[in-house]
Structure formats: structure tokens, C-alpha cells
Amino acid sequence: MLKVNREDKSPIWQQLLDQAIHNITTGKWPPGELLPPSRELALLVGVSRSTIQIVYEELFSRGYTVTNRRGGTRVSEWGYKSRTSKDVISQGPSTPKLPLLNDAVDQLHSWFQGKENQNVEIDFCPHEPYLDEQFQKNWRQSFLQASSKADLASWGYGNANGFVPLREQIQRYLKFERGVHVDIDQIILTSGAQHSIDLIAQALLLEGETVSVEDPGFPAAWMTMKYRSMNVVPVPVDEYGLQVDCIHPQSKLVFVTPSHQCAVGVIMSEPRRQKLVHMAVQNQFWIIEDDYDGEFRYRGGPLPTLFSQQPQNTLYMMSFSKMVAPGIRISAIIGPKEAIRQLAQVQALTYRHLPIMEQLTLAHFIEHGHFMRHMRRIRNIYRRRHEAMTRAIIESGLSKRFKLSGTETGLHMLLEAEESFDEEAVTYQALESGIRVYPLSTYCIRSDRKGWVLGFAKVDEATIEEGIYRLAEMIL
């Protein structure tokens, strides 16, 4: 029988409903059992008839009971069996085997070197930019002001291409800072480089098509393409960048980082740039130009983009994750209108649009000058740390045994060893000594090149010098 607990703060009807459901699901009230009329049960329990009617209506609406005028209210036939089956309770559907996904995640984890707290004192991380309290203060200010001024229309479903005022700010930035002139409908916003590459694979390539990537290169690019069932072909990189003559003749897309090659750090030479864009036109393939840290150049201004030379075949990628902060998760793809339209269609289907608050905040951050002031400030910081890293590598003697490259641009440089060098052992030895360095082999597909990709964005000058000298003492 149902009972009311007057000390229970929950509504009486809820107490009775919970008890009734328990009785049905445990079999105390078996399938087909006739429940007492509401008036009779109300008298037995000591509550109003309307309370019992609420309980009966809830049981019926949830499928625990069936009713008819002549037969009254009965426990439904399926309720008890479906809820007491041990198989249903103890085991759900099995997850499919996804070896490509598991392998890619393992590789990505290896590339990032994990983030286990292994008593790391000095971390030469090449993946993250410098952040400080000044940035946090300005971002908080933009966040508060943008959220207070946002109208109700901003909180509805947005444009798959991205928040229009933010794309206008990016359009203006590209025009005045990079010499790239585009219309606003040539810009689509994404949530990072990997999202951008995945979107391009879905929208502009067919399963099984061939894509060429740098080797060494950006691991997330080929991992994403492989997961989308593309035929990924590595192309060697030398001191002049991607070896264009080695691009697979059936390639439908070529991924490059020409302003500061991911890993090796070299700049693609002008003859190779010209050859690449000419080949793209002749063979009708896409170029993905990832300009992830080309803004930070220590000799002259940023280099001209491939997009400026051949906009019809090039998809230019820029990322605020690298320029400002990884947590922002906003990037942009700039390309031909028809390609961007197709990317937006896929985005609308699979992702809808980016979260509005981040877009509002970044638009305000750029519009009110915080972004350019931030860029000027961190360029000076990076310049000092770049000089400290270069000087320490030379003065410690490391540059006599290892080849130093990638020193003109970006947030990392390469210290390259001979192919016979035991890169893994020294990397582990350094980690045991509290220094995290990033092996070149994790950026390679077929290449046997060895060395370390050393980032300096998050390490101050004194710590850079200490880390490099400790590393030199260990291996020289």
C-alpha cells in the first residue's frame, strides 16, 4: 500500500508516484494488475482524490499503465519485463572498433608529449603562445562589455560563416596587416586548425583522394586527413621548404606552412612558391596555406601569402589560438567564394555555428585595439626570447654539434642532429632532469630526421639560458 511521509519535503503526489513506479518496476504490481479506483485509493491512503488522479495521470503518460472506461487502470504488459531484464541493466551497446581514431589520438598525445606532471622545471613547448595578466585583464574587459551590449538577436541561431562583425574585423586586419584583400563572404570561422582541416576534407575532397603533406610537418593535418579516409602522401622538406617536385601527381590538395615550416622552421623559397602555385593551377588542386605563426618575424615584416598570388586555388588558414590564446578556439579560413560557401554548408549541417560569446568578445577585443596592442607587446617579448635562445645555443656549444634552423620567424626553432643520433634516449634523459624538449621524429611520417623542436614563447630569458646550458652539459 502507498504511504505518505509527512516529514518528507517533496510533494505528496511525487511521493506516491515514486512508490507506485517502484512497485511496478520491481514486479510488486505485476503486469495486468488492476489498480483501485482513484476515490477508493484516496480514502485508503488518506489524501484527496485529486492527488491520486495526478498520480494515475502521470503513470499513464509515462506508459506504466493502460486505462479504459470499463476495465479501469491496469499495469501495462511491458513495464515490468523491460525494466527487470538483467541484460538491459548491466550492459549497453558495444562501441565500434575505430583503429584509425585510436592511432591518431595516440600519435597526437605523443606529439604533445603528454602533460603528465613529471617534475618538469623548464618546458620548451613549441605549441603555445605567451600569456600574461595584461591579456587576461583586456580579455575580461572585452567579455564584460561585449556581453552587456549584446542584443537579443545575437543569442539566436547564427550565421554558419561566423559572426559578421568579427569577420569584418578579420577582413580589415588582413587588408592592413597582411595585404590580403577579400570580401567578407570569403571568410569562414572555425574552432581551430584541426576543425578547419576537417571541414575542408569533408567539403572539398572525396573519400580516398590523395593529399600531399610536409614531412616533417604538422601532425594534426595528416592525422585528420587520414581519419577522413584520404590517401596521405608525405613530401620531403629541405632548407628551402617543401620539395615541390616530389608532390604526388594525383594530389587533390597540398598542405604547406610556407612562412615558417612546422617543425623544421625554414621559409619556403620564392622559386618554390612560384612553382607550387603554377602547379596548383595546372593540375587543379587546392593549396592549404597554414600561416600559424608567420606574424612573428624577426627580420623584416611578414612574408607575402600564397593566397595573394593565387587566390582561386588557395585556402589561407589563420588562428587566434596561436596569435592570442589556445583557449579562444577561433580560427578562420579565407578562400574563393564558392569554396567558402561549400564549407559553410557542411558547417551548418554538422556544427551549426561557433559559440556566440567568444565571437562577440573577440570582435570587441580587435575593434577596440586590444588585439594590435597585444600583438605589438608580445612581438617584443618574443624577439627578446628568440635572441636569448639563439645566443644560448651558440654560446653553449650546441650549435657546433647540431644544426640550428628556423631562426627568422615564429615561436620555435630546430636543433637538428644526425640521423644516427639517439634522439629518444636524450629526450627521456632531459625529461628525467626536469627539462622537456620536443623530438623532431614525432613530426615525421617517413622522414628519419632527428633533433628537437624548441619553443621559447612561454619561457623567460633567464630560464631559456639555464635550460639550454643544462641540455648542453647533458649531451656534449
pLDDT of residue 87 exceeding 60: no
Contacts of 444 (CB under 8 A, 6+ apart): 215, 216
Beta-bridge partner residues of 439: 452
Contact 214, 257 (CB under 8 A): yes
What tens digit of pLDDT does each residue of 144-191 get?
Answer: 998 888 877 778 788 899 999 999 999 999 999 888 999 999 999 999
- In the block, cell 472506461 appears at 69
Of 107, 113, 117, the residue nearest 128 (C-alpha): 113
Tell me the angle at which helices 12-25 and 49-61 cross, rounded to the nearest 10 degrees.
50
Structure pTM? Answer: 0.83
Q: Give the pLDDT of residue 98.
A: 75
- Taking the domain 12-89, which CATH number applies? 1.10.10.10
What one-character-per-residue DSSP string does 390-444 give? HHHHHHTTHHHHSEEE--SBSSEEEEEE-TTS-HHHHHHHHHHTTEE-EEGGGG-
Identify residue 475 by its one-letter amino acid code: I
Q: pLDDT class for 120, splitting at 50, 70, 90?
A: confident
Q: Does domain 133-370 have CATH number 3.40.640.10?
A: yes
Overall size of the chain counted in residues? 476
Mean per-residue pLDDT of the chain: 89
Q: pLDDT class for 90, splitting at 50, 70, 90?
A: low
What tens digit of pLDDT does each residue of 227-248 get?
Answer: 899 999 999 999 999 999 999 9
% the chain with pLDDT above 70: 95
pLDDT of residue 283 exceeding 90: yes
- In the block, cell 588585439 appears at 371
Structure-block grid coordinates of residue 283: 593540375
* Cα distances (angstroms) measured from residue 42 to each of 45, 54, 317: 5, 11, 69
How far from chain centre, in Å, is Cα 327? 9
Identify residue 47 by its one-letter amino acid code: V
Q: Give the pLDDT of residue 470.
A: 93
| Class of the CATH-defined domain 111-131+373-475 | alpha beta
Angle formed at CA 272 by CA 269 and CA 278, multiple of 5 degrees = 145
Structure-block grid coordinates of residue 364: 570587441
**87 backbone dihedrals φ, ψ, rounded to 5°:** -65, -40
Q: pLDDT class for 281, splitting at 50, 70, 90?
A: very high
Q: Give the pLDDT of residue 157.
A: 82
Q: State mean pLDDT over 318-343.
A: 92
pLDDT of residue 1 exceeding 90: no
pLDDT of residue 86 exceeding 80: no
Of 73, 70, 66, 69, the residue nearest 52 (C-alpha): 73
What does the alpha-carbon distance between residue 124 and residue 388 come to, in Å, rounded to a whole number?
Answer: 13
E strand or H helix that includes residue 318:
strand 314-319
Of 188, 193, 236, 459, the residue nearest 347 (C-alpha): 188
Contact 323, 295 (CB under 8 A): yes
Compute the chain's Rg from CA coordinates: 31
Instruction: Identify the weakest region by mean pLDDT among 291-300, 308-317, 423-432, 448-457.
Output: 291-300
Structure-block grid coordinates of residue 383: 624577439
Q: Where are the domains of the chain?
A: 12-89, 111-131+373-475, 133-370
Q: Give the pLDDT of residue 26.
A: 86
Q: What SS3 class is residue 353? A: coil
Q: Give the pLDDT of residue 289.
A: 96
Domains 12-89 and 111-131+373-475 share a fold: no
Q: State mean pLDDT over 128-153.
A: 90
Identify residue 273 by its one-letter amino acid code: R
